Amino acid sequence: MKPFSHQLHRSAHLPEQGIYIFGSQLHAHLTGRKIFSSHYRYGVKIGEINRDDHYSPHWQHIVHLNPYIHVVPGDVISTTCIYETLSRDSVTLLIDVREGGYGIEDEMCVNYIYYFPVSEVEVCKSAVDNASLHRHFHNKYDIRQTSLPIYQKYASVNWNEKNTLLLKELFAVAPLNINCLKHDGLPFPNHPLNWTGVPQPRVRMTPFTKQRDRNECPALND
């Protein structure tokens, strides 16, 4: 799964001095196998907030981070989920709650982050822009019913290797619809694009030094 990136935009009223992340809980449903959250600054990966290379939906725990991770306005937090769906005959969706809700057979890709000092940010989530998806299904898969919901369009495609690759290419470049919400559940105002069709942040995969958490035991090769 290509990660959807959240740039902590100044429109979301993150404190100028930033926040400090002290805890993290990764979350997916039944097919989740690996999850990690990357931290980018000025387009460069500077570390990871949390990683579970052996994720199980039956063991979802909160990880206390030590030292705390400092995140400032303009940073990008990107969560990547790896799924295993080879035993399934139908498509597995990461669907927006407005398209019918999240069932246990569908999927999610979430990092619940605990931080201080308190700010107005309750949740930030994103998905590929709906208009881009509708155009993609029309142009690449010849699905022309404009009134058909996106989740039904997914179910209408024969997901062979070619069609899967086309979708992965779309996910890599398509703009995002982002929901950055306040504690009252309302979006932050004054975003220049109204949180719709937001270009994906440009990030570079560069080497970074992994800082071992103080609660983590050293490995033999450390």
pTM, two decimal places: 0.82
**CATH architecture for the domain at 4-121:** Sandwich (2.60)
Count helices and strands (H / E) in the chain: 3, 9
pLDDT, residue 94, reads 76
Two structure tokens written together for 30? 């039944």
Distances (CA, A) of 108 to 7, 26, 40, 112, 120: 19, 10, 22, 12, 24
Single-letter amino acid code for the residue at 137 = F
pLDDT, residue 202, reads 81
> Which residues make Cβ contacts (< 8 Å) with residue 41, sequence separation at least 6?
72, 74, 75, 76
The three-state secondary structure class of 160 is coil
Q: What is the arithmetic mean of pLDDT over 124-149?
A: 92
Two structure tokens written together for 183? 């504690």
207-216 tens-digit pLDDT: 656 666 666 6
Using alpha carbons, select from 70, 59, 61, 78 the residue that is nearest to residue 24: 61
- On the question of pLDDT at 165 being above 70, the answer is yes
**DSSP secondary structure code for residue 115 in this structure:** E
* Least trusted range by pLDDT, from 64-73, 78-87, 166-175, 185-194: 185-194
- On the question of pLDDT at 72 being above 50, the answer is yes
Whether the Cβ atoms of residue 185 and residue 60 lie closer than 8 Å to each other: no
Strand partners, 79: 4, 37
* Least trusted range by pLDDT, from 2-11, 30-39, 98-107, 138-147: 2-11
pLDDT, residue 3, reads 45
* Least trusted range by pLDDT, from 18-22, 174-178, 179-183, 213-217: 213-217
Could you write out the DSSP letters of every residue in 21-88? EEEEEEE--TTEEEEEEEEEETTEEEEEEEEETT--TT---PEEEEEEEEE-TT-EEEEEEEE--TT-
Higher pLDDT, 93 or 169: 169
